[in-house]
């Protein structure tokens, strides 16, 4: 079945180019020029992935990404940010807003399609993951949800798709130290497009999700080596 990709881009020429590239790549484009049209498209059909321009009229791409990560209907949809901003702080800002990947303009159709397929491939791998529990933290693989607490007294945690993958890997490989490079290989699939700094951003976001339940200390920093997941303090 063809995947539907929502394009949120206010420049008609770029939007048409993206739609053409997606059709050539066997995807179905869902064009939108701003946040309002994007919401209308999502209401009609939930996309498999969102291509989101950084600079938009009205709500910016960052604002939309943050909003969609808060809403149940869209929180698990992968987002790739399209941006002319190449500075590291801007890229980190996008990742912290919940973006899964970014493409810096100008980019080729081949690069864009490669990134889309890589992100979708990681999402499909998530669907095949099983359930796992360590201490008071539990992942329901079938429901694609994370819970804190024991049995009947548990709370659903709002965890983004990348943090979900990272947490699942940690919980299925506890008590072992992994370098940033190893985490990129295992969680991101060794994508050449992702930098090591990305790991630190998502570690911070994962800890923030776990912190209200005092579970953030399970994700441990091993100075000079990397990160380890452990139920032991």
Per-residue model confidence as pLDDT tens digits over 65-104: 989 988 878 888 899 988 876 655 666 776 777 788 888 8
Whole-prediction pTM value?
0.62
160, burial (CB in 10 Å: exposed 0-12, middle 13-18, buried 19+): buried
Each residue's pLDDT tens digit, 179-221: 998 888 888 775 546 677 889 999 999 999 999 999 999 999 9
Whether 105 and 84 have beta carbons less than 8 Å apart is answered as: yes
Q: Where in the chain is the domain with CATH 1.10.10.10?
A: 129-229
- Does the domain at residues 129-229 carry the CATH identifier 1.10.10.10? yes
State pLDDT tens for residues 30-51.
999 999 999 999 988 899 999 9
Please check the confidence at residue 116 and state whether its pLDDT lies above 60: yes
Specify whether domain 4-126 bears CATH 1.10.260.40.
Answer: no
**Helix 180-187, helix 196-210: angle, nearest 10:** 80
CB burial readout 179-212, b (16+ within 10 A) else e: ebebbbebbbeebeebeeebbebbbebbbebbee
CATH 3.40.50.2300 residue ranges in the chain? 4-126
């Amino acid at each position: 079945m063809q995947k539907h990709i929502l394009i949120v881009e206010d420049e008609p020429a770029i939007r048409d180019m993206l739609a053409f590239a997606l059709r050539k790549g066997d995807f179905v484009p869902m064009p939108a020029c701003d946040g309002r049209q994007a919401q209308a498209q999502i209401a009609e059909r939930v996309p498999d992935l969102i291509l989101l321009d950084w600079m938009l009229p009205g709500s910016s791409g960052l604002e939309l990404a943050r909003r969609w990560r808060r809403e149940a209907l869209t929180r698990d949809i992968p987002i790739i940010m399209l941006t002319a901003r190449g500075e590291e702080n801007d890229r980190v800002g996008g990742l912290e807003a919940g973006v899964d990947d970014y493409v810096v303009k100008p980019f080729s159709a081949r690069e864009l399609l490669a990134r889309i397929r890589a992100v979708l491939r990681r999402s499909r791998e998530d669907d095949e993951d099983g359930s796992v529990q360590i201490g008071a933290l539990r992942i329901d693989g079938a429901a694609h949800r994370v819970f804190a607490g024991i049995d009947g007294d548990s709370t659903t945690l709002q965890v983004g798709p990348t943090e979900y993958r990272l947490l699942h890997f940690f919980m299925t490989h506890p008590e072992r130290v992994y370098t940033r490079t190893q985490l990129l290989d295992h969680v991101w699939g060794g994508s050449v497009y992702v930098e090591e700094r990305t790991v630190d951003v998502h570690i911070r976001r994962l800890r923030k999700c776990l912190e209200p339940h005092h579970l953030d200390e399970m994700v441990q920093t091993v100075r000079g080596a990397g990160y380890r997941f452990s139920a032991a303090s």
